[in-house]
């Protein structure tokens, strides 16, 4: 069977890369692929794929470069078929024509109840802000956008998809973990409306290179893309501080190839690719208990894949989503100012600006004296690192503080002061009698934090007492444990793990130690 155009392009890119490898490097790539995949295949059953791996392994027995390259290209074609889910404009037009109803039925599974009732305004539950008109103008002038959001929950992708639709922006391609495609609630929506499959259990370099080639190909075709540069959901609850550069770095590759080869699309910015930060602020997170438990158990070492958290239960997803969007706790999606691929801000005409606000020629960063792009992987890594720094700054600047975050901060700080000298792990393991706090003490720590947060966006009901009341009310509807619960005598019983998770969203905002 002839592979589709995407697979042909990925195979062509891989073939060019393999042809340039010296013999030992090619051997190492085959060995790397066989080693990691045989380890993985010990845990799963996939006879057809195992045959491809065995065929690649057999090429190491003979001095036959062509056979090695052919075996690797067969794997690339297999990976391309796994990764790519054809986007259907017709399906997208149909889905968006019935939004929010279609999204409602999707998220409410088969229970037959509409999440969005006649008198329910979904725009009041998913609130958009940022330079949306500027982003639309850049797209109209031919630019391709990379949206780089924070990542809190597996609900982020459909929520951002709805936000893009509500903002009048076109659909964006995005990567979703293989485990999510087994979720009966989310899988049909993701497959038809722009998601491509990412199997994070595949650790070999060939697969990772194929994913990057897929991203470059999508961008070069003018496909707007969504990357979670944190790589996975934040286990600790913190805003992303260190980003993964792999997929993010594909933007500068695609841009330089556009400059080198030209583009067939029209518009003064048709060759250009810009990056837009997007900061999500959600009052409550379905998977919070599992995520913080994972962060604590691994002592900060992420497992990257959680296969059995609360999100694996379709009914629980539907129930949580309905309650979240019916609660008076809007999801804030803040689209940040667009940047070029070096991290410079972009003005309304699509010009790159220096820190002083003067226009700069962004092509000068990557072209030589002859005006043609010069390949330099090390240089591009430095540029992507600079872009990452600007993104993490935007996340802190644009995050909307809500009562659950600030209430949890106040609880954790009060707990820390009550038990000085104890580290995080000791605090989360405190017995019940040591987790009782005076309400007045927590209000005091909230007031301190509130004063330090001046200048940051927030969605809060008032002073410290009102913030704490709202946080307690919101927490009472979610999670098996109560993050904060009032008991007699002005005392509160708290769950240190959950308070740590929600409190961590404010780390880096200049409050506390």
Tens digits of per-residue pLDDT, 67-105? Answer: 999 999 999 999 999 999 877 666 566 655 655 554 444
Listed range (31-35, 186-190, 496-500) with the worst mean pLDDT: 186-190
Task: Of 126-140, 290-304, 370-384, 391-405, give the lowest mean pLDDT range.
Answer: 290-304
Is residue 305's pLDDT more than 50? no
Query: Which range has highest mean pLDDT (31-45, 163-177, 286-300)?
Result: 31-45
Residue 181 has pLDDT above 60, yes or no: yes
Res 379: pLDDT? 96
Neighbours of 497 (CB within 10 A): 19
Residue 378 has pLDDT above 90, yes or no: yes
Of 350, 360, 342, the C-alpha closest to 138 is: 350
262 within 8 A of 190, measured Cβ to Cβ: no
Q: What is the mean pLDDT of residues 366-380?
A: 94
| CB-based burial label for 58 (10 Å; 0-12, 13-18, 19+) | middle
Pick 508 or 99 by higher pLDDT: 508
Can you tell me the mean pLDDT for 403-409? 97
Q: What is the pLDDT of residues 447-498, one digit of tens each?
A: 999 999 998 999 999 999 999 999 999 998 888 888 999 998 889 999 999 9
Kind and range of the H or E element at 198?
Answer: strand 195-198
Q: Are 128 and 163 within 8 A, CB to CB?
A: yes
Percentage of the chain beyond pLDDT 70 is 83
Residue from 149, 150, 140, 369 nearest 265 by CA: 140
- Sequence-separated (6 or more) residues with CB below 8 Å from residue 289: 310, 479, 480, 481, 497, 498
Judge contact between 506 and 406, C-beta under 8 A.
yes
Q: Is the pLDDT of residue 17 over 70?
A: yes
Residue 19 burial (C-beta neighbours within 10 Å; 0-12, 13-18, 19+): exposed
pLDDT for res 2 = 46
DSSP H stretches of helix in 44-129: 47-58, 65-83, 89-97, 101-107
Q: Can you tell me the distance from the alpha carbon of 90 to that of 321, in angstroms, rounded to the nearest whole number? A: 27
Residue 27 has, within 13 A of its CA and on its CB side, a CA count of 8
Contact 215, 87 (CB under 8 A): no
pLDDT interval class at 383 (50, 70, 90): very high
**Where residue 56 falls among pLDDT bands split at 50, 70, 90?**
very high
Helix (H, G, I), strand (E, B) or coil at 366: coil
Paired with 353 in beta bridges are 359
Which helix (H) or strand (E) element contains residue 281? strand 273-281
More confident residue, 151 or 327: 151
- pLDDT of the residue at 204: 97
Contact criterion met (CB below 8 Å) for 484 and 499: yes
Q: What is the pTM of this model?
A: 0.87
Before 100, cis peptide (omega within 30)?
A: yes
Cα–Cα distances in angstroms (integers) from residue 169 to residues 27, 92, 145, 400, 471, in the given order: 45, 13, 10, 22, 33
Residue 120 has pLDDT above 80, yes or no: no
**CA angle (139, 381, 221) in 5-degree steps:** 30
CA torsion sign for 343, 347, 352, 357 is negative
CA distance 372 to 338: 25
pLDDT, averaged across the chain = 86
* Residue 187 pLDDT greater than 90, yes or no: no
User: Which range (146-160, 215-229, 440-454, 489-503) has the least confidence?
Assistant: 146-160
* Cα distance between residue 374 and residue 219, in whole Å: 19
Phi, psi of 286 (to 5 degrees): -55, -45
Q: What is the pLDDT of residues 188-208, one digit of tens each?
A: 666 666 678 889 899 999 999
Residue 484, strand partner residues: 494
- Taking the C-alpha atoms of residue 494 and residue 485, their distance in angstroms, rounded to an integer, is 6
Measured distance CA(144)–CA(263) in Å, rounded: 12
Give the closest residue to 499 by CA, choosing from 412, 415, 424: 412
Q: Decide if pLDDT at 224 tops 50.
A: yes
């Amino acid at each position: 069977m002839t592979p589709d155009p995407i697979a042909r392009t990925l195979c062509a890119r891989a073939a060019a890369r393999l042809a340039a490898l010296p013999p030992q490097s090619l051997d190492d790539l085959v060995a790397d692929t066989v080693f990691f995949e045989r380890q993985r295949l010990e845990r799963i059953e996939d006879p057809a794929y195992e045959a491809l791996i065995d065929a690649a392994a057999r090429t190491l027995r003979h001095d036959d470069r062509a056979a090695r390259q052919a075996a690797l290209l067969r794997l690339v074609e297999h990976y391309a078929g796994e990764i790519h889910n054809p986007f259907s404009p017709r399906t997208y037009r149909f889905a968006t024509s019935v939004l929010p109803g279609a999204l409602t039925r999707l998220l409410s599974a088969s229970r037959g109840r509409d999440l969005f009732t006649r008198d329910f305004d979904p725009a009041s539950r998913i609130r958009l802000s940022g330079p949306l008109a500027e982003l639309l103008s850049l797209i109209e002038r031919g630019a391709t956008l990379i949206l780089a959001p924070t990542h809190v929950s597996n609900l982020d992708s459909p929520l951002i998809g709805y936000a893009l639709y509500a903002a009048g922006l076109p659909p964006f391609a995005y990567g979703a973990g293989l485990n999510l495609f087994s979720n009966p609630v989310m899988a049909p929506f993701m497959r038809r409306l722009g998601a491509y499959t990412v199997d994070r259990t595949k650790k070999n370099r060939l697969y990772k290179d194929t994913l990057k080639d897929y991203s470059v190909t999508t961008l070069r075709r003018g496909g707007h893309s969504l990357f979670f540069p944190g790589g996975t959901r934040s286990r600790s609850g913190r805003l992303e501080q260190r980003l993964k550069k792999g997929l993010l770095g594909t933007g500068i590759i695609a841009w330089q190839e556009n400059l080198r080869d030209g583009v067939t699309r029209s518009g003064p910015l048709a060759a250009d690719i810009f990056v837009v930060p997007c900061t999500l602020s959600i009052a409550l997170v379905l998977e919070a208990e599992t995520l913080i438990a994972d962060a604590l158990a691994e002592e900060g070492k992420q497992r990257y894949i959680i296969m059995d958290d609360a999100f694996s239960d379709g009914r629980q997803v539907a129930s949580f989503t309905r309650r979240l969007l019916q609660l008076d706790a809007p999801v804030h999606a803040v689209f940040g100012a667009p940047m070029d691929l070096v991290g410079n801000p972009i003005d309304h005409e699509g010009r790159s600006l220096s820190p002083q606000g003067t226009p700069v020629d962004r092509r000068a960063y990557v072209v030589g004296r002859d005006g043609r792009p010069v390949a330099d992987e090390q240089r591009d890594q430095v540029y992507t690192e600079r872009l990452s720094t600007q993104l993490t700054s935007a996340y802190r600047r644009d995050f909307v503080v809500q009562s659950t975050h600030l209430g949890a901060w106040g609880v954790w700080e009060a707990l820390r002061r009550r038990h000085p000298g104890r580290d995080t792990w000791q605090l989360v393991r405190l017995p019940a009698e040591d987790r009782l706090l005076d309400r007045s003490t927590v209000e005091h720590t909230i007031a301190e934090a509130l004063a330090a947060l001046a200048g940051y966006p927030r969605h809060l009901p008032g002073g410290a007492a009102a913030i704490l009341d709202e946080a307690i009310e919101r927490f009472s509807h979610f999670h098996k444990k109560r993050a904060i619960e009032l008991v007699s005598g002005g005392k509160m019983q708290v769950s240190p793990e959950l308070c740590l998770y929600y409190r961590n969203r404010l780390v880096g905002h200049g409050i506390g130690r």
